[in-house]
Every structure is written in structure tokens, then in C-alpha cells.
Amino acid sequence: MQRGSKGTDMARRVEVAENVLGANERIAGENRRLLDEAHLFTVNLMASPGAGKTSLIERTLETLSRRTRILVIDGDLATDLDAHRARAAGADALQINTGGECHLDANMVGRALQQFDLERYDLLIIENVGNLICPAAFALGSHKSILIASVPEGDDKPYKYPTTYQGVDALVINKMDLLPYVPFRMDRFQKGVELLNPGVLTFPLSCRTGEGVSAWTDWLVKEIRERRPEE
């Protein structure tokens, strides 16, 4: 093997990447401990830009915010549009602007957690940066990772973005109301999902019409209850 400057550069890149991911795992573990102590069920929502993360949060708040105390942490490169939308829908919300970073990391989330009395909430929704690749590599400390796919993105996405599809605990298929207008074959999509993540919990729904949203919120309520301390 060549050990010229190119080899050294590559070795250095790998070393730095390993350090970064190792540190992230450690901080994610600390976040998880805080969330467990507060009995705060936490989901990490990941998706392409525009698949409907914020819309799903709005629908979730609409259904649950009267009986469930919800905190939202929104990640975006820029703007606080999403935190505004979450607040308007009735949640406490904090916006993280990542600057150029293409994903949230455990450290950003850890700093955000320090700003809240976590015991006051039943559900924490972390809205990751819109990106189907990078967020999957960075654990945040959440209990469940959720991927939101959307019908107009096309049925080939599981095949082309396998790492994200592989690692998630549940899959939301949003914009089901657009099925008649786009060339999306549900059987092809589901075959890809099944190959990568057999039996993964799946919620087909439409944030626009509201159809299917109750199965999603029922599941959240069940998960919240399981973490509630015995009274």
C-alpha cells in the first residue's frame, strides 16, 4: 500500500470520522439517560426535504396536544419557520439552526435538552434536518427513529437510500392522497422496505386529508404509556 500524502490524508479523515461518531454515541447515551429519567418518550423524525415532517408534527399536535404535553426540537440549516409552526399548533418548541451541517447530532440535542424541564413533558419530537442520508449516521438518544417517506418521491427510494431505511423503527408513508396522480407502485416500494427492514411498523397516511393519522397517534400514545412511571 502506498503511504504517500494521499494515504496519510485518508487515514486522518477516517480517524477524525471515527472520533466524531464515537463522541456522538457517548453523548447520545447521556441524552437517553436524561430522557429515561424524565420518562419522556422521544422520537427522531427523519425524511427528505418536503416529505412532511412538520406537517406530521402539526397533525400529531392537533390530535394529542390536549391530553399530552409535547416538546418539539426542530433542526434546520436556516430559519425558525418549523418551530413557529409547532408553537402555533400548541407545543413548546425550540429551533436549532445547524448552519451548514446536514444533520442534527447528539451534542446539539443535548444542549437543547438543558433548556427545558423534561419532567414536564410526555412526548419529545425531534425533527431532523431534511436529508435522507446523513442523519441516519448520528444517534441522538431518541427511543425510536422514524422515517417519513412520501408518495411523490417515488417507489425506488428504499433501494437507493438503504442505510436510512434499514435503521428505522417505524416508517410513515405520507401524501397517500397523491397516489392517483403520480407513478408510485406500492408493491415495489413495500418489497424494497421488506428486504431492508422486514416487518417494520408502517403507517400509510395523509397529513393533508388526515386519513390514517390516528393509527400513528395511537401508537405514540401506547409508547408514551409504556414509559410512564407506576403511580
**Quick one: which H or E segment has residue 126?**
strand 123-127
79 binds a copy of itself (CB under 8 A): yes
In whole angstroms, give the CA distance from residue 135 to residue 132: 7
Backbone angles phi and psi of 43, in degrees to 5? -115, 145
Which residues, 6+ apart, have CB-to-CB distance to 8 below 8 Å? Answer: none
- The three cell numbers of residue 2 are 502506498
Total residues in contact with a copy of itself, by rule CB under 8 A = 42
Question: What is the number of other CB atoms lying within 10 angstroms of the CB of residue 20?
Answer: 13
Nearest to a copy of itself of 40, 96 (CB atom) = 96
178 binds a copy of itself (CB under 8 A): yes
Question: What is the number of other CB atoms lying within 10 angstroms of the CB of residue 199?
Answer: 7
Question: What is the number of other CB atoms lying within 10 angstroms of the CB of residue 186?
Answer: 13
Among 42, 60, 68, 150, binds a copy of itself (CB under 8 A): 150
Binding segment toward a copy of itself, per CB under 8 A, in 38-46, 65-73, 109-117, 155-163:
155-163
26 binds a copy of itself (CB under 8 A): no
CB of 36 to a copy of itself, least distance (A): 26
CA–CA distances in Å: residue 212 to residues 18, 172, 222? 41, 10, 16
Half-sphere exposure of 227 (CA within 13 A, CB side): 22
86, 72 contact by CB (below 8 A) = yes
CB of 75 to a copy of itself, least distance (A): 11
- The three cell numbers of residue 160 are 437507493
Which residues, 6+ apart, have CB-to-CB distance to 227 below 8 Å? Answer: 36, 39, 40, 41, 143
Quick one: DSSP state of residue 114?
Answer: T
20 binds a copy of itself (CB under 8 A): yes
CB of 24 to a copy of itself, least distance (A): 12
Among 61, 153, 168, 224, binds a copy of itself (CB under 8 A): 153
CB of 26 to a copy of itself, least distance (A): 13
Among 21, 34, 137, 201, binds a copy of itself (CB under 8 A): 137
Binding segment toward a copy of itself, per CB under 8 A, in 34-42, 45-53, 119-127, 213-221:
45-53
Among 7, 25, 33, 78, binds a copy of itself (CB under 8 A): 78
157 binds a copy of itself (CB under 8 A): yes
Binding site for a copy of itself (CB under 8 A): 9, 12-13, 16, 19-20, 23, 48-50, 76-79, 81, 100, 102, 129-134, 137, 150, 152-154, 156-157, 159-163, 175, 177-178, 181-183, 208
